[in-house]
Amino acid sequence: MNRVIAIANQKGGVGKTTTAINLSACLADLGKKVLALDLDPQGNMTSGLGVDKDEIESSVYDLLIGNAGIEECICENVLDNLDVLPSNIDLSAAEIEMIGVDNKEFIIKKEMEKIKDKYDFVIIDCPPALSMLTINAMTTADSVLVPIQCEYYALEGLSQLIHTIELVQERLNSSLEIEGVVFTMYDARTNLSLQVVENVKDNLNQNIYKTIIPRNIRLAEAPSYGMPINVYDPKSAGAESYMQLADEVIHRGEEE
């Protein structure tokens, strides 16, 4: 089994990077061999997993512009079972530099073919835009996991995202699936969180993960220490929820 999952939602601040970091680390903790691929120029997945953005020799930017092969870009064994393909702010220029390049939608996919078999899971953190970087993630991926923040405008922009996924399915990657939706930043003290979950369940005809990620301050603190939650505070509610999500993702794959 080998699955490439893109974590995508063009809205910023919904928990993509937090989910990408912690899902990667928890899958690795459960014994799966994982590659965490950072496709956001902010590089927050990179630093959140403890890789210094400013010390990287080759990043996903070098990969996209043909400066380096994929093997050269990977930081190995950042944690047990976990490799990182890092990014930093250089990546913000990639979109421009890719103008006019043939098959630019498939650059990452082509490189990934060389190494995919080494991993059980590749988890891709996408930028908050439906850009060429996100398209590269979607051509490489088997499925898209969509984090939805439990707040008022949760459904806003979702139809646009689903339309983009459908376009990619039609034109670029016919086997792309929607992995499902995961609720993030759930606040049990407010009715709003509950209402959002109910509303999305009623209106969205997609697979929804049973695991709901609570709002948990430890999840917000961990990245500044360069640690995923299962390392930073394994007993926290945040760690428990992401371990549970990882378990669900593994078993979802086995059911198929």
Name the site residues for ligand ADP (rule: CB under 6 A): 12-18, 44, 128, 184-185, 213, 215-216, 219-220
**Distance in Å, CB of 57 to ligand ADP, minimum:** 25
Work out how close the CB of 39 gets to ligand ADP at its nearest, in angstroms, rounded to a whole number.
Answer: 11
Binding of residue 46 to Mg ion (CB under 5 A): no
What type of residue is 113?
E
Which residue do the tokens 């891709």 mark?
124
Q: How many residues does the chain have?
A: 256
Distance CA 34, CA 123 (A): 7
- Tokens linked to 19: 């989910």
Nearer to Mg ion, 13 or 66 (CB): 13
CB of 14 to Mg ion, least distance (A): 8
| Partner touching 213 among Mg ion, ligand ADP, none, CB below 5 to 8 Å by kind | ligand ADP
Residue 17 engages Mg ion in binding (rule: CB under 5 A): yes
Query: Does position 16 bind Mg ion by CB under 5 A?
Result: yes
Q: Which is nearer to ligand ADP, 194 or 220 (CB)?
A: 220
Query: Number of residues in contact with Mg ion, rule: CB under 5 A?
Result: 2
Nearest residue (CB) to ligand ADP, 10 versus 58: 10
Residues forming contacts to Mg ion in the complex (CB under 5 A) are 16-17
